[in-house]
A and B are shown apart, each in its own frame.
Chain A
Amino acid sequence: MLFRNLLAAAALAFACSAPAQEPIRIGAFLSVTGPAAFLGDPEQKTLEMYIEKLNAGGGVLGRKLQLIAYDSAGDAEKARAFVKRLIEQDNVDLIVGGSTTGETMAVVPLVEQAQIPFISLAGAVVIVEPVRKWVFKTPHSDRQACERIFVDMKGRGTTKIALITGPGGFDKSMRAQCIGVAKNYGIEILADESYGAGDTDMTAQLSKIKGTNGVQAVLNCGFGQGPAIVTKNYRQISIGFPLYQSHGVASKGYIQLAGGAADGVRLPAAALLVAETLPDSDPQKKVVLGYKREYESRYKSDVSTFGGHAYDGLMIAVEALTRAGVTDKAVVRDAIESVRAFMGTAGVFNYSPTDHVGLDVSGFRMLEIRKGDWTLAK
């Protein structure tokens, strides 16, 4: 009799400890291949690594996390199809993803209609302006990059600048944002040049800038190989004033391509790139150094700020789920919106009903490239 009771108790205990609950499903669509692979690849790796870690630690709300990720290859049409699948077939609880602005904007109507929380990893300000109920994002906006750069320029007595812009969506959006906010900072744009996709030489545009009277600095809005060619040409025709790049070049690939020519280039970027050199008093140091070490020891490749956006997106989702205590979509959405003082790799997130980026410019550090590495600019 005692034996049978024991058995029953054991069976009961076993039944209770067994994971009877469904996993929490996190959907992702990322540009793992294609022209924006340098964004999507570290993002996917980051999500996989941290979901594994969270599950090893018991999951969230006592439930495991399940990642359902698709490769949208930088294609807005594919992104739409995959997000439809995430919502209708995979029944995900929330979505983290959208490496590029184009892919993100293509799925915004879908997530709004399906009423599902969506944290985008893309840059342009149009994603959160106007504020959409279900859409949040983790990277700094292009406008904030302009503002940070202009603050730095003013601090160094620069008020007259030239722009040179690439052909991408981010490039053009950033150019428009920079022109829009320039006068708030007393910055005058004297020359506004551009280059095309696949251009091999920008010395003509840069010579023109060099010959424009009064220019004190040049800002290149772009990402990919364009900025590396601009940087090389810039040194070739020995332009004396400083060159600024956007956070779109914040990966080691840019320094490798541009080589020695990159020395002296200034750009705004998340603290992640200079994690080791941050003073210990810096409140961000713990988070960024932790992420950097995890990522680099697991994947044996240099950390980029783009993977950091995915880390921020996932951790904010986890924070919101924990606060909400349930996976009900409306409750989770409200919980994301009420995330305050959350320390991510990009800075401190303070979401609010009117602000779905949550970051202020202070998370952006001004970096200068020295001897082939990132350093905090003085």
Chain B
Amino acid sequence: MSAQLVQFLLSGLTVGAIYALVALGFAIIYNASHVINFAQGEFVMIGGMAAASFVEAGLPLPLAALLAVGGAMLVGLALEKLAVEPARGAPVVTLIIITIGASILLRGLASLVWDKKIHALPAFSGETPLKLGGATLLPQTLWVLGATVLTVALLWWFFNRTLTGKAILAVSHNQLAAQLMGISVRRVLLVSFGLSAALGALAGVLIAPISFTSWDIGVMLGLKGFAAAILGGMGSGPGAIAGGLALGLIESLGAGYVSSAYKDVFAFVIILAALIFLPDGLAGRRRATERV
């Protein structure tokens, strides 16, 4: 393997891991409510911006990161409580439009609460690049990949080994049946928004030392995360991860071997192709059979 290829793969995996975290956030809310939460990218922005401002205010980095993720989670809960829950029973499309409105509101608020400048977060463990097979990677990349793996493991444990997690899964399979079994759909929805917000914010904190953060960073990351979720199959956890990594790799290999001018084009063409030929995504579930 040439050093160049290794570099492309590393770069793709790093970005892909972030897309995967954002896509997981989409998947969790989609499962609980069939709503595509277009404010998902804004959670990424809030995580990064809050962490950066806490660090600038003098807090140690781990505490700043923790507070940022916690703060974003509160925003997620508030979003569900104040905007989504009052509209319960409305068609899914209405709820989706509400999340679009929320994303615009959050962006506006962020530009007022913070500012419109670009902020940097210090890398978690230095910036000396590590050598790997002729290519180089930043220690932050290992943090991104490690944290993603850990998060996925935790999520698996949560959904398969805890009652709340199982309740969310039950609601995603059949809301009515779950409700009849005594599961509070409202609580499930609340938990899923909080969880998604925390995931998004985590992605935001992890990527901020690599790519910087600003009030409008959520738009593109949200869109890429959405694309990854679609590619993987909306609502599927493993699909979201596979979709995110695939998207990151496609972008970086495309930019490296073909042309960087078409980097975003590759990504979105693949999504279109997936929607046409594989409408249920890589981890496609046969919806027709499942919902019977």
The binding surface of chain B is classed by DSSP as helix
Q: Which of B67-75, B174-182, B210-218, B279-287 contacts A (4 or more CB under 8 A)?
A: B210-218
Report whether B120 and A259 are in contact in the complex, using a CB–CB cutoff of 8 Å. Answer: yes
**B18 and A207 form a contact (CB under 8 A):** no
| Stretch in B7-15, B87-95, B193-201 with 4+ CB within 8 Å of A | B7-15
CB distance B11 to A225 under 8 Å? Answer: no
CB of B127 within 8 A of CB of A198, answer no
Would you give the shortest CB distance from B58 to chain A, in whole angstroms? Answer: 17
- Cβ of B4: which chain A residues have Cβ within 8 Å of it? 207-208, 210-211
B213 to chain A, nearest CB (A): 9
Question: In the complex the two chains form, what is the Cα distance from A192 to B100 in whole Å?
Answer: 37
Out of B12, B129, B251, B256, which one reaches A236, CB within 8 Å? Answer: B129
In the bound complex, residues from chain B placing their C-beta under 8 Å from that of A260 are: 127
Question: A205 contacts which chain B residues (CB < 8 A)?
Answer: 255-256, 260
Contacts of A34 in B (CB 8 A): 116
Instruction: Determine the chain B residues whose CB is within 8 A of the CB of A196 once the complex forms.
Output: 220, 263-264
Pick from B8, B18, B219, B261: contact of A198, CB below 8 A: B219
Residues of A within 8 A of B8 (CB): 204, 207
Q: How large is the interface on B (under 10, 10 to 19, 20 to 34, 35 or more residues)?
A: 35 or more
Are B11 and A256 in contact (CB-based, < 8 A)? no
Query: Which residue of chain B has the shortest Cβ distance to A237 in the bound complex?
Result: B136
A79–B234 CA distance with the chains assembled, in angstroms: 42
Do residues B117 and A38 form an inter-chain contact, with CB atoms below 8 A?
yes
The verdict on A237 contacting B221 (CB below 8 Å), with A199-B263, A203-B11, A257-B212 known, is no
Residues of A within 8 A of B216 (CB): 35, 198
Query: Are A198 and B217 also in contact (CB < 8 A) when A236-B129, A237-B7 are?
Result: yes
Taking the closest CB of chain B, its distance from the CB of A116, in whole angstroms, is: 31
In the assembled complex, which residues on chain A have CB atoms less than 8 Å from the CB atom of B149? none
Residues on the B chain within 8 Å of A200, using CB: 15, 18, 207, 210-211, 221
Given contacts A203-B11, A204-B11, contact A238 B136 (CB under 8 A): yes
- A331-357 to B contact mask, C-beta < 8 Å, 1/0: 000000000000000000000000000
Per the bound structure, the CA–CA distance linking A195 and B252 in Å amounts to 11
Most buried by B among A33, A200, A211, A232: A200
B83 within 8 Å of A by Cβ? no
Q: How far is the CA of A225 from the CA of B118 in the complex (A)?
A: 7
For window 210-252 of A, CB contacts with B under 8 Å fall at 210-211, 224-225, 228-229, 232, 235-238
Does A328 count as interface, using CB distance less than 8 angstroms? no
Nearest-neighbour CB distance to chain A for B22, whole angstroms, equals 12
Q: Which residues of A contact B219 (CB under 8 A)?
A: 198
Question: Which residues of B from 246 to 269 have beta carbons under 8 Å from A?
Answer: 251-253, 255-256, 260-261, 263-264
Provide the bound-state CA to CA distance between A257 and B127, in Å: 13
Residue of A nearest to B253 (CB): A204
* B-side contacts of A264, CB under 8 Å: none
Tell me if B66 is interfacial: C-beta within 8 Å of chain A.
no
On whether the beta carbons of B212 and A228 are closer than 8 Å, the reply is yes
Check if B155 is an interface residue, CB within 8 A of chain A. Answer: no
Q: CB-CB contacts of B118-138 with A at 8 A, as 1s and 0s?
A: 101000000101000001111
Given A211-B4, A237-B129, A237-B135, A201 contacting B117 (CB threshold 8 A): no
List chain A residues, Cβ under 8 A from B261: 194
Q: Is the CB of B136 within 8 A of A257?
A: no
Q: Give bound CA distance, A11 to B84, whole Å.
A: 72
CB <8 Å contact, B127 and A228 = no
Task: Say if the beta carbon of A197 comes within 8 Å of chain B.
Answer: yes
Q: Give the one of A34, A37, A236 with max B CB within 10 A.
A: A236
Question: Given that A207-B4, A228-B212 are known contacts, is A194 also in contact with B138, CB under 8 Å in the complex?
Answer: no
A224, B118: Cβ atoms closer than 8 Å: yes
Determine whether the beta carbon of B118 is less than 8 Å from that of A198.
Answer: no
Closest to A258 in B: B120
Question: Least Cβ distance of A230 to chain B in Å?
Answer: 11
Asked if A207 contacts B211 (CB within 8 A), the reply is no
| B263 nearest CB neighbor, chain A only | A196
Q: Mark B99-116, 1 if CB is under 8 A from A, else 0.
A: 000000000000000001
Q: Which of A201, A225, A228, A229 has the most B CB atoms < 10 Å from its CB? A: A201
Closest to B122 in A: A259
Alpha-carbon distance between A229 and B137 when the two chains are bound, in angstroms:
14
Complexed CA–CA distance, A208 and B255 (Å): 9
Instruction: Determine if A229 and B212 form an interchain contact, defined as CB atoms under 8 angstroms apart.
Output: yes
Interface centre among A34, A207, A210 (most CB of B within 10 A): A207
Question: Does A253 have its Cβ within 8 Å of any Cβ on chain B?
Answer: yes
Known: A201-B15, A204-B7, A237-B135. A228 touches B256 (CB 8 A): no
State whether A204 touches B211 (Cβ < 8 A).
no
Which chain A residue lies CB-closest to B18? A200
User: Is the C-beta of A93 less than 8 angstroms from some C-beta in chain B?
Assistant: no
Which residue on chain B has the smallest CB distance to residue A195? B260
Contact partners of A193 in chain B: CB under 8 A: 255, 260
Q: Which of B14, B120, B220 contacts A201 (CB 8 A)?
A: B14
Chain A residues packing against B (C-beta within 8 Å): 33-35, 37-38, 193-201, 203-205, 207-208, 210-211, 224-225, 228-229, 232, 235-238, 253, 256-257, 259-261
Q: B: which residues have CB within 8 A of A?
A: 4, 7-8, 10-12, 14-15, 18, 116-118, 120, 127, 129, 135-138, 207, 210-212, 214, 216-217, 219-221, 251-253, 255-256, 260-261, 263-264
Q: Apart from A228-B212, A236-B129, A253-B117, what 6 extra A-B contacts exist at CB < 8 Å?
A: A196-B220, A196-B264, A199-B220, A203-B7, A205-B260, A257-B118
Which 9 pairs between the two chains have the least Cβ-Cβ distance? A198-B220, A200-B211, A204-B255, A204-B256, A203-B11, A207-B7, A204-B252, A225-B118, A205-B260
